[in-house]
Structure 1
């Protein structure tokens, strides 16, 4: 009984010592390679429990997920000899851990190598385009070209690049202010031009409306003048017919209207002796009628 207990204890101690050297675990986020004295003996990319030779085999783990290769912002020269501050990053994964281990050893060294290659190719591409094109229209094309160029180069290190992006493309601080001022001046010039064009269109519309209003007003005035002239002609015709019907009565009526205007309070009138008005005033009836008139 004591011997069995001692054997169990010995087995447990041996398992505790040898177990970590005999087994290794790879989870779903990792991939691993097993080396013996620096020589790769096994490559594992599927999760699970695996066996290795104890004490002589070494397990190295690499991330199987997407890695981010973030380059620091750098001042690059464009085709038109102007500078831009470019901030770029890329994403990729380790697809051949054995090749990766043989070429760059560790993930940090692999990232540094990838950043160097991406930055170098980006510098070459930026130098082939003008500054304004890079900022406005060429950014997407540059990223596609850089990815296509660095893809085979990084494959030599066991890396697969799936995306390259320019996070930022800014002017250097020493010229940013002048560039922004020039942009503001350009926008102001365009605004003034559009404002002037709007004022020109407004003037044209107003002139057309005023011309139309003048035409309508002139037509209305012409119609009014014609109607007024026809009315006056009709009035003159009626008046002439009335006069021709009784000239003496018309003469008498006109004399009365003249008397009302001539005779006012304290009025003095000088008349010839042979005038009808003088004869009328000499008569008693005429005096009474004249003073009785309002």
Structure 2
């Protein structure tokens, strides 16, 4: 009989011990509840004790979780509809707040869906379509990440990033987008042509200016050289005239014969000075 009592006592102790022990895995964190109210948080892995039958333990993931949204339609600043397929990475940083606000991961997914979708609509509405799909994609989703992170903190959730997996447009908007892109490319081409024409005109004007300067300088130098030549010729003429006036007069007379006699009829008297060197002496 003594062994029976001892066995019963050991069984009761073992039973109580089983309901008093809980193990926290390295990938988990735990919230200890007493009569439904959280009393402590356990984030480090190991073996822990709780009050049997009074306290219960709820486990949450400590690893990074992924939120994968359904493709959603948003409207850009330039009134173009686009379908964004995005995802987010988050973790539970405050298990008690997480438990109070969303209860579990399923509730967290639903609340994140509301937060991220509303922030995506707000931020995307501040950018043009071309910016989102090419130039400013990273900037857009960084802004979405920051604003979503602030709101998610109220749920005990920390969002590390929000990123885009795929972007597409509704079929009915494709033609409008293509027409808009064509018009934009034509506008840029016209701008480039206008800039090219302005540059060509500037180069042409600059070349014309240089041409006028070069011609003016050449004319000035030519006139200067001509003046020097005429002065030199006049000097030589004066020298020749002073050294042999008779010979100079003879040369000038020959020049006169050359310019006037061929093909011309002259009526002059035989004793004219013009025949001075043609008469036999």
| TM-score (norm. length: structure 2) | 0.64
Q: How far 1:212 sits from its partner (Å)?
A: 1.1
Structural mapping, 1:120-135, within 5 Å:
120-127=118-125, 129=126, 131=128, 135=132
| Residue of structure 1 in register with 2:266 after alignment | none
- Following the alignment from structure 1 to structure 2, what is the Cα–Cα distance between the partners of residues 148 and 46? 30
Structural mapping, 1:89-128, within 5 Å:
89-101=87-99, 103-127=101-125
| Residue of structure 2 in register with 1:158 after alignment | 156
| Residue of structure 2 in register with 1:239 after alignment | 240
**CA offsets per residue over residues 248-277 of structure 1, 9 Å max, x none?**
89859x99xx9xxxxxxxxxxxxx9x9976
Structure 1's unaligned 5+ residue stretches are 1-10, 259-271, 281-294
- Following the alignment from structure 1 to structure 2, what is the Cα–Cα distance between the partners of residues 42 and 224? 108
Structure 2's unaligned 5+ residue stretches are 1-9, 258-269
Whether 2:207 is the aligned partner of 1:209: answer no
Q: How far 1:168 sits from its partner (Å)?
A: 7.2
Structural mapping, 1:208-287, within 5 Å:
208-244=209-245, 247=246, 279=280
**CA offsets per residue over residues 135-187 of structure 1, 9 Å max, x none?**
478985896588547734x4554324465566777765614422332232122
Q: CA RMSD in A?
A: 4.7
Over alpha carbons, which structure has the higher Rg?
1
Q: How far 1:50 sits from its partner (Å)?
A: 1.2
Give yes or no for contact 1:21–1:54 (8 Å, CA) kept in 2: yes
| TM-score (norm. length: structure 1) | 0.61
| Residue of structure 2 in register with 1:47 after alignment | 45
1:62 to 60, 65, 76: 60
Q: How far 1:71 sits from its partner (Å)?
A: 3.0
Moved more, 94-103 or 225-234: 94-103
- Following the alignment from structure 1 to structure 2, what is the Cα–Cα distance between the partners of residues 96 and 219? 91
Q: How many residues align?
A: 248
Give yes or no for contact 1:117–1:150 (8 Å, CA) kept in 2: no
- Following the alignment from structure 1 to structure 2, what is the Cα–Cα distance between the partners of residues 279 and 78? 114
Give yes or no for contact 1:121–1:150 (8 Å, CA) kept in 2: no
- Following the alignment from structure 1 to structure 2, what is the Cα–Cα distance between the partners of residues 100 and 275? 135
- Following the alignment from structure 1 to structure 2, what is the Cα–Cα distance between the partners of residues 168 and 248? 106
Q: How far 1:44 sits from its partner (Å)?
A: 1.8
- Following the alignment from structure 1 to structure 2, what is the Cα–Cα distance between the partners of residues 159 and 104? 10
| Residue of structure 1 in register with 2:267 after alignment | none
Q: How far 1:242 sits from its partner (Å)?
A: 3.5
SS of 1:84 mapped into structure 2: strand
Give yes or no for contact 1:69–1:91 (8 Å, CA) kept in 2: yes
- Following the alignment from structure 2 to structure 1, what is the Cα–Cα distance between the partners of residues 238 and 221? 25
Give yes or no for contact 2:124–2:140 (8 Å, CA) kept in 1: no
- Following the alignment from structure 1 to structure 2, what is the Cα–Cα distance between the partners of residues 80 and 200? 36
- Following the alignment from structure 2 to structure 1, what is the Cα–Cα distance between the partners of residues 80 and 250? 106
